Amino acid sequence: MHLELVAHVAASIVQNVEQVILGKRRAVVDAVATLLARGHVLLQDVPGVGKTMLARSLAVSVGGVFKRLQCTPDLLPSDITGVTLYDQRQGAFRFRAGPVFSNVLLADEINRTSPRTQSSLLECMDERQVTVDGRTHPLPQPFLVIATENPSDHEGVYPLPESQLDRFMTRLWLDYPTEDDEKLIVGRHLAGAPIDALESVTDPETVRAMQAAVETVQVNDEVVAYAVALCRRTRVHPHVALGASTRATLQLSRLAQAHAVLAGRDYVLPDDVKRLALAVLAHRITLKPEARLEDVTPETVIQEIRDEYPVATSARPPFLQVRKAASG
């Protein structure tokens, strides 16, 4: 699939989602880019700002199968992956697939379920497969997990383990809309839910081809060195107890490829990496206890690291012009 066509379809997806999610272009673009980069999204924000609607509208836009998983303290791993049951009529055991067998899985309030249940998503997110009773079942493609997370100071939540956080390519925020956007939202919903009128603009097969095409975007040695430098710096920062993994470096580079296409280029700039560092790295680092006492946050650490490394921007011209809606 030609990259110009990828950019055109991606712009259509962004515009379609924005019929439901108003005033949050950067979050929408980052979510679409994460899908194209074969990643997963963690949405951390207060309730009622559109996290569920973002997942639903993205699923509808790509014509994929959408499943919702309401995470509760009593949720079991088999409620996610599926279970093997004995079929008396056929006299054999049969696998009953769980909600993870979908194109877009919304894990709503993921940090309200236990760490044991959360860990059942690790294989699904990393290897796109489920192993139950010794048998491996491939998941549909594309496969995207969008998990919503309540702030850690809310009641009844479990912290996500580091291994789980590391599976999410990006952590995004929606935040409250502006006053004008909130007026538009209320006006639209009083006339009927916009999600009910939303139609698909592509299909899963096309998305799979787009994902393969994005992987052909050029990433030169300068960009790789810059991504590696940012991630390695998190591992020796004085405020950080656990820095970004090698998986983080790879996913930062992959996401930069998707953003390059959305920006109208067939190559990645160091600026792409710098712009995405906060969304890809902040949720992966663990601060030392004394840093928390000094009101240091993962976000301030990543911003400080970005400022340490100057970026040299290439002067090469873009290979195509993408509509402004997809440039975020």
Residues 132 and 272 in one domain: no
Residues 231 and 185 in one domain: no
Residues 208 and 298 in one domain: no
- pLDDT confidence of residue 324: 41
pLDDT tens per residue across span 17-64: 999 998 899 999 999 999 999 999 999 877 777 888 999 999 999 999
114-126 mean pLDDT:
88
- Among 196, 215, 234, where does a domain finish? 215
pLDDT > 90? residue 65? yes
- Please tell me the least confidently modeled range out of 191-200, 256-265, 301-310, 319-328: 319-328
Residue 154 — very low, low, confident or very high, per pLDDT cuts 50/70/90? low
Q: In this structure, are strands 240-242 and 286-287 parallel, antiparallel, or unpaired?
A: antiparallel
- pLDDT confidence of residue 143: 96
pLDDT > 60? residue 325? no
Q: If DSSP codes are grouped into helix, strand and coil, which group holds residue 25? A: helix
- pLDDT confidence of residue 1: 85
Residues 185 and 320 in one domain: no
Contact 240, 290 (CB under 8 A): no
> Structural domain of residue 87, as residue ranges?
1-215
Cβ-based neighbour number of residue 271 at 10 Å: 18
pLDDT > 90? residue 326? no
Residues 194 and 251 in one domain: no
pLDDT > 50? residue 322? no
Residues 5 and 153 in one domain: yes
Residue 327 — very low, low, confident or very high, per pLDDT cuts 50/70/90? very low
- Among 215, 250, 274, where does a domain finish? 215
- Among 173, 196, 215, where does a domain finish? 215
Average pLDDT, the chain: 88
> Omega into 47 within 30° of 0, i.e. cis?
no
Structure tokens at 32: 């679409």
Contacts of 89 (CB under 8 A, 6+ apart): none
| The dihedral formed by the CA atoms of 154, 156, 162 and 164, expressed in degrees to the nearest 10 | -110
- pLDDT confidence of residue 119: 86
pLDDT tens per residue across span 269-283: 999 999 999 999 999
Residues 178 and 224 in one domain: no
150-173 mean pLDDT:
80
Q: In this structure, are strands 286-287 and 82-87 parallel, antiparallel, or unpaired?
A: unpaired
Residues 5 and 120 in one domain: yes
pTM above 0.85, yes or no: yes
The CATH number covering residue 140 comes to 3.40.50.300
4-8 mean pLDDT:
94
Ramachandran region of residue 156, left (φ > 0), alpha (ψ -120 to 50) or beta?
A: left
Residues 100 and 236 in one domain: no
- pLDDT confidence of residue 194: 85
- pLDDT confidence of residue 312: 57
pLDDT > 80? residue 92? yes
Residues 244 and 133 in one domain: no
- Which spans in the chain are helix H? 3-17, 25-36, 51-61, 78-81, 115-118, 122-127, 162-165, 179-190, 194-197, 204-214, 221-236, 246-262, 270-281, 289-293, 298-308
Residue 151 — very low, low, confident or very high, per pLDDT cuts 50/70/90? low
- Please tell me the least confidently modeled range out of 58-62, 155-159, 235-239: 155-159
Residue 133 — very low, low, confident or very high, per pLDDT cuts 50/70/90? confident
Residue 328 — very low, low, confident or very high, per pLDDT cuts 50/70/90? very low
Q: What's the total number of domains in the chain?
A: 2
- Please tell me the least confidently modeled range out of 27-36, 200-209, 307-316: 307-316
The CATH number covering residue 272 comes to 1.10.8.80
pLDDT > 70? residue 169? yes
Residues 170 and 76 in one domain: yes
Residues 186 and 246 in one domain: no
